Structure 1
């Protein structure tokens, strides 16, 4: 009997040596397979459509089409999460040498599922690939803090349109609690502990929240929660509506 198929990864980086390094790190793992390499954003978009990888490792600064535009095009065709909470198309993991907020927020708006600096460890890279591939715990705590800080700045506005309000009304009280906790960067395990639920139950709630709000993953859920005023910067996680 065969085991589960390996996670399929596409590498997009204009530096050949970087791609070689990523391939070596990832292919040591029995559950990960590198299915292709692209040296620019346009080729990454085409290969993502042709190869249908689970994860695209995307550099930001590349010749021609950059990684942010390539991310936008790849995720635009992916749709929302599947019933089990996993992405319905390739999840994009941004890797860059630049710790810049403009890259971070543009990547999130483009639909990226994660954002890592290239000075991380091989173990962190492998872990991130597995995380984004299953659509779970996509937002690192430090990334959450930057998102919260952005909405806490003077003049930061929240969106309050009728369609958004209607979508929120479709959430059950429990699903709303889960959204609030996700917005604070809580993992499924932390949500389960906080709400005294099993992790499987929490995963079901997360999937339903994403489906009802038309969101791709937890990253979008966090941004959505702050844009819609579900939670306010500085408020305690778990606040009632």
Structure 2
């Protein structure tokens, strides 16, 4: 059972999401709150697995709340769910550890899939802003948010692993990578897990930033999967 918390300042949206998500037997909405302060208070009691976080909320917005939650409860996954696709919001939410960024126009099936994906350690970014996110990774790679990896850790990466890393850098999901590289989704998931371990990186977002800043996204690979 995946425990979900909803954080949105609009009561109608909170109620609607709660009704729709409650139709899934493997999800349980443990609370629906109106701002970041309420999120932090509710977490102490409910300890959700995934939080659907609005950006613009009174008293404490979703970006700052994401930062605070990830600092105190790093295992809790956060999906930013908002009507805004402003660069600054995307940049900040991903920088502070959000696992997903979806616009509120997303279908309920896509939202359910996103919740399951981040719960299982994946990342989910709305296709409408995937290109924007890739550009943001480029910005981040040139800023003081650059990801540091010891050169010795990357020497043993295989070409197959580098191909997967490249696609992660482009902002693609495991499913999209699997289709593009003619692999199973499970194989891609294993590659990502192995690569994160090899490079000693925390999550997929850090891997994507590293891929951009090191130029992996610009490399050309042959057909050899070694």
TM-score range, shorter chain: 0.7 to 0.9
Identify unmatched segments of 5+ residues in structure 1.
1-5, 80-88
Q: Deviation per CA, 1:59-115, whole angstroms, max 9, x where unpaired?
A: 111122211111112222455xxxxxxxxx111010112221111111110111111
> Could you tell me which residue of structure 2 aligns to residue 40 of structure 1?
35
In the TM superposition, what are the counterparts of 1:56-71 in structure 2 within 5 Å? 56-71=51-66
TM-fit CA distance, 1:195: 4.9
> Could you tell me which residue of structure 1 aligns to residue 14 of structure 2?
19
* Secondary structure in structure 2 of the residue aligned to 1:231: helix
Distance 1:98 1:194, change over 3 A: closer
TM-fit CA distance, 1:187: 3.5
Asked if 2 retains the 8 angstrom alpha-carbon contact of 1:60 and 1:66, the reply is: yes
Cα distance between partner residues in 2 of 1:145 and 1:34: 31
In the TM superposition, what are the counterparts of 1:50-129 in structure 2 within 5 Å? 50-79=45-74, 89-129=75-115
* Secondary structure in structure 2 of the residue aligned to 1:65: coil
* Secondary structure in structure 2 of the residue aligned to 1:95: strand
Residue among 144, 154, 165 paired with 2:130 = 144
> Could you tell me which residue of structure 2 aligns to residue 182 of structure 1?
168
TM-fit CA distance, 1:140: 3.9
Asked if 1 retains the 8 angstrom alpha-carbon contact of 2:6 and 2:32, the reply is: yes
Cα distance between partner residues in 1 of 2:18 and 2:156: 43
- The CA RMSD measured in Å over matched residues stands at 3.2
Asked if 2 retains the 8 angstrom alpha-carbon contact of 1:111 and 1:220, the reply is: no
Structure number with greater CO (CA < 8 Å, separation at least 6) is 1
TM-fit CA distance, 1:167: 4.1
Residue among 148, 151, 157 paired with 2:142 = 157
* Secondary structure in structure 1 of the residue aligned to 2:41: helix
Cα distance between partner residues in 1 of 2:131 and 2:58: 31
What's the TM-score, normalizing by structure 1?
Answer: 0.76
Cα distance between partner residues in 1 of 2:59 and 2:27: 29
Cα distance between partner residues in 1 of 2:180 and 2:90: 29
What's the TM-score, normalizing by structure 2?
Answer: 0.81
Identify unmatched segments of 5+ residues in structure 2.
none
> Could you tell me which residue of structure 2 aligns to residue 226 of structure 1?
212
Distance 1:17 1:222, change over 3 A: same
